[in-house]
A = this chain, B = another copy of it.
Amino acid sequence: MLSKSQLQFIKSLHQKKFRKEHGLFIVEGLKSITDFFHSDYAIHSIYCTPKVEPKIDILKKKIKHYPISERDLEVISTLKAPQGILALIEIPNDPPFYEEELRNRFTLVLDTIQDPGNLGTIIRTADWFGIKHIICSEETVESFNPKVVQATMGSLARISIRYTNLHAFLKGIKLPVFAAELNGQSIYKTDFGKEGLLILGNEGNGIMPGLVNDKTQRITIPRFGNAESLNVAVSAAIFCSEIGKKYNLDKS
């Protein structure tokens, strides 16, 4: 049985402040935890109810695990309906970063995405289409926020996400840069080539001033109906599909 202070420690990781202090974040559900187990992330510990325990043989051999009651799991879980298993995972240090890694592929650049569900869905969609890197402005919601982690459905384990000052980052970059905007060239008539960055802007305000310059190609998803705008995760998905289709079909 876990002590009250152990439960309180895990519960504190619901908050960004304590995740940062302890270098740990929470992942829930056997499928997502297994995705992290097969990644470069280090799993710190696992808390598992008797119902799920028979299914974690492989994890048990390598990771500290603690039995937990359904009732205690409800205390530490970030979900309305806990899934029988919760893991603490170590927040990795940012490795040094080389522009070379972004060559011959497409990378998403997120400017101040605020809704955790949107960020999580974008990460999941990027993983579906084979995107490896996402660069976020420092104002974008933290990728270890429990709602982000949940919405990625395990894809967070496979995508490299980096937070940085986008002005400085884009200034130094030599790759083609595309920006999702309302008054640009049609996405359906754009040749994206074989590599590049795609900037997606904030839910309410779009891309911040100064980020897009003369060299940036402004691209638009044409509107055939009447909605004023698209959800940013939906825009990201349509861009990933258009780019992924052309890029991957060309390679095959």
Partner-B contacts on A (CB < 8 A)? 31, 117, 121, 124-131, 151, 153-155, 158, 188, 221-231, 233-234, 237-238, 241-242, 244-245, 248-249
Contacts and interface: CB of A to CB of B under 8 A. Distances in A.
Contacts of A231: 121, 124-125, 151, 233
A229 B188 contact: no
B228 A125 contact: no
Nearest to A233: B234
Nearest to A117: B117
A231 B237 CA distance: 10
Contacts of A224: 128-130, 244, 248
A226 B131 CA distance: 10
9 contacts: A31-B228, A117-B117, A124-B231, A125-B234, A126-B225, A128-B223, A128-B224, A153-B229, A155-B226
A234 B117 CA distance: 12
Given A128-B223, A188-B245, A188-B249, A153 B237 contact: no
- Secondary structure of the A contact surface, majority rule: helix
A39 to B, nearest CB: 10
A127 B227 contact: yes
Given A31-B228, A127-B226, A231-B233, 11 more contacts: A124-B227, A126-B225, A128-B224, A128-B229, A128-B230, A129-B225, A131-B225, A222-B248, A224-B248, A234-B237, A238-B241
Contacts of A234: 121, 124-125, 233-234, 237
A128 B225 contact: yes
Contacts of A155: 226-227
B153 A228 contact: yes
A208 to B, nearest CB: 21
A83 to B, nearest CB: 12
A245 B189 CA distance: 11
Contact of A125 (B158, B222, B226, B230): B230
Contacts of A241: 221, 238, 241-242
